[in-house]
């Protein structure tokens, strides 16, 4: 299939360009030309408020009158953006007769060039066009590409430009140069740029240029929060690093659909922990991460929820920092936030809770060592992680320290996933609810008046929800 339009990037800096029209469409076209440095003349008897301000500021030359045929003369590019199709066609005919590229809005057959949808990471520009077929499709593709191309690519391109000559002088062999740029663009240098750490990126590229650097590649560790289970809750950066790492070290709480989004050829190492069943001690995990990175691997440490909220992420990067291993931390949606949102329970609310506290309900020696007096204070929401086994102690201690037995309680099982179930009750009866129909871990416990809002605000239903018999997650109708 032949190309109807040749994709090109045209320099219009300081060159005379014409826009005819003063509406919102003309405004968008003019904005693109001004960003490219064009010397724009705009012809229109009326302008939008924004165009009026720009004209008064001298950003372009304004001719406050209808189009005249002589307006096209001497122009290097023309855009017809009036609301009169006859005038637009006249402009196109005149421009074509003088071999001037012309674009006519909403009339692709009259165009000799198209303005694509763009992803602007200047100096990196990605353009998407569907030709004459579907501008809406082009915008959709642009939106999806926006999510895959970090804003830092512009800074990365600037860095590469500054080092281009040095790299060429350093590596005379083209294969070595390609290897060098592959390491830079897909490794620690690029990630430092994406994280806004320009000085660290420059230091890293200097190390890459040092003699012998190609003989040994020090890897990096990505400590990534996988969220509570729904893959759609991953951050863009998390997804990019998941598909970049060649070793994946993951926990039990990482959902299988999320694990499936990592590189297919990546080595996977399971270090999950269950109650009284630790596959690998924490100290061994810390040591393994450092050793893998030292061997040159890009290591993805994938943890459920957020790695810095009851995830021992701080312990793992403490070892890396002490040994000079590059690392970065990508936060995830913690279980409290994700599960509460999917259960229709706001953790704070002006009428019910002015603060929220996250605590671990993990048993140690048969007890839970918490500041129960503080947790019993009114006007707050308490979220217990890993508290299912210790639920009887939680209920007993809260009531003993002054919380009303009628205080609402919710248990969210496997929140944000198709297996989500929400159990509700009060401190006085929740143990009976659980005994009659035991929930499966991981289950989050929410205690507070905000639980009362669930019936009104619940929006996420699954086949496990006893109030709706659907087989897949759907939105609730109110």
- Catalogue the active-site residues: 251, 273
- Half-sphere exposure of 170 toward its Cβ, with a 13 Å CA cutoff? 21
213 DSSP 8-state letter: G
Phi and psi (nearest 5°) for 199?
-65, -40
What gap in Å lies between CA 216 and CA 294, rounded to an integer?
Answer: 9
What gap in Å lies between CA 437 and CA 274, rounded to an integer?
Answer: 21
Give DSSP secondary structure letters for 23-75.
Answer: SHHHHHHHHHHHHTT-EEEEE-S---HHHHHHHHTTSSEEE-S---GGGGTT-
Contact assessment for residue 431 and residue 392, using Cβ atoms and an 8 Å cutoff: yes
Give the three-state DSSP class for 214.
helix
Give the three-state DSSP class for 157.
helix
Which tokens belong to 24? 């919102």
C-alpha angle with apex 94: 88 to 97, nearest 5 degrees? Answer: 140
- Half-sphere exposure of 278 toward its Cβ, with a 13 Å CA cutoff? 6
Of 70, 109, 62, 115, give the one whose Cα is nearest residue 89. 109
User: How many CB atoms within 10 Å of residue 14?
Assistant: 8
Contact assessment for residue 18 and residue 77, using Cβ atoms and an 8 Å cutoff: yes
Q: Residues with Cβ < 8 Å from 27, sequence gap 6 or more?
A: 48, 50, 51
Give DSSP secondary structure letters for 66-87.
Answer: ---GGGGTT-SEEEE--S-HHH
């Amino acid at each position: 299939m032949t190309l109807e339009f040749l994709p090109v990037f045209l320099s219009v800096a300081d060159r005379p360009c014409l826009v005819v029209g003063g509406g919102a469409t003309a405004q968008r076209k003019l904005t693109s030309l001004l960003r490219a440095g064009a010397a724009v003349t705009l012809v229109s008897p009326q302008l939008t408020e924004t165009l009026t301000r720009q004209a008064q500021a001298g950003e372009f030359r304004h001719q406050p009158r209808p189009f005249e045929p002589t307006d096209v003369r001497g122009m290097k590019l023309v855009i017809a953006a009036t609301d009169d199709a006859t005038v637009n066609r006249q402009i196109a005919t005149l421009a074509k007769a003088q071999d001037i590229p012309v674009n006519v809005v909403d009339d692709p057959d009259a165009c000799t060039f198209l303005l694509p949808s763009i992803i602007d990471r200047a100096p990196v520009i990605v353009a998407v066009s569907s030709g004459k077929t579907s501008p809406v499709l082009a915008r959709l593709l642009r939106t999806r590409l926006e999510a895959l191309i970090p804003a830092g690519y512009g800074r990365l391109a600037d860095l590469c430009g500054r080092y281009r000559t040095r790299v060429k002088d350093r590596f005379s062999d083209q294969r070595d140069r390609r290897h060098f740029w592959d390491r830079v663009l897909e490794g620690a240098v690029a990630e430092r740029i994406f994280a806004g750490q320009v000085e660290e990126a420059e230091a890293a590229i200097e190390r890459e240029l040092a003699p012998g650097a190609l003989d040994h590649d020090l890897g990096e560790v990505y400590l990534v929060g996988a969220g509570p289970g729904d893959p759609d809750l991953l951050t863009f950066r998390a997804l990019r690093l998941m598909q970049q790492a060649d070793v994946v070290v993951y926990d039990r709480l990482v959902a299988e659909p999320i694990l499936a989004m990592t590189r297919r050829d990546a080595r996977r190492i399971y270090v999950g922990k269950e109650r009284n069943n630790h596959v690998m001690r924490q100290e061994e995990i810390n040591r393994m991460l450092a050793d893998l990175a030292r061997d040159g691997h890009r290591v993805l440490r994938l943890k459920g929820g957020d790695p810095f909220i009851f995830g021992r992420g701080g312990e793992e990067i403490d070892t890396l920092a002490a040994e000079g291993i590059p690392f970065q931390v990508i936060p995830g949606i913690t279980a409290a936030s994700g599960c509460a949102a999917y259960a229709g329970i706001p953790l704070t609310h002006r009428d019910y809770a002015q603060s929220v506290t996250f605590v671990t309900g993990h048993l140690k020696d048969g007890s839970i060592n918490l500041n129960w007096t503080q947790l019993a204070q009114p006007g707050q929401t308490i979220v217990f992680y890993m508290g299912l086994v210790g639920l009887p102690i939680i209920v007993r201690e809260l009531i003993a320290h002054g919380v009303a037995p009628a205080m609402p309680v919710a248990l969210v099982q496997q929140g944000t996933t198709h297996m989500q179930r929400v159990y509700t009750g009060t401190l006085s009866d929740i143990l009976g609810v659980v005994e009659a129909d035991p929930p499966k871990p991981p289950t989050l416990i929410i205690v507070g008046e905000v639980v009362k809002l669930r019936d009104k605000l619940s929006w996420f239903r699954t086949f496990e929800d006893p109030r709706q018999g659907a087989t897949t997650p759907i939105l609730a109708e109110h």
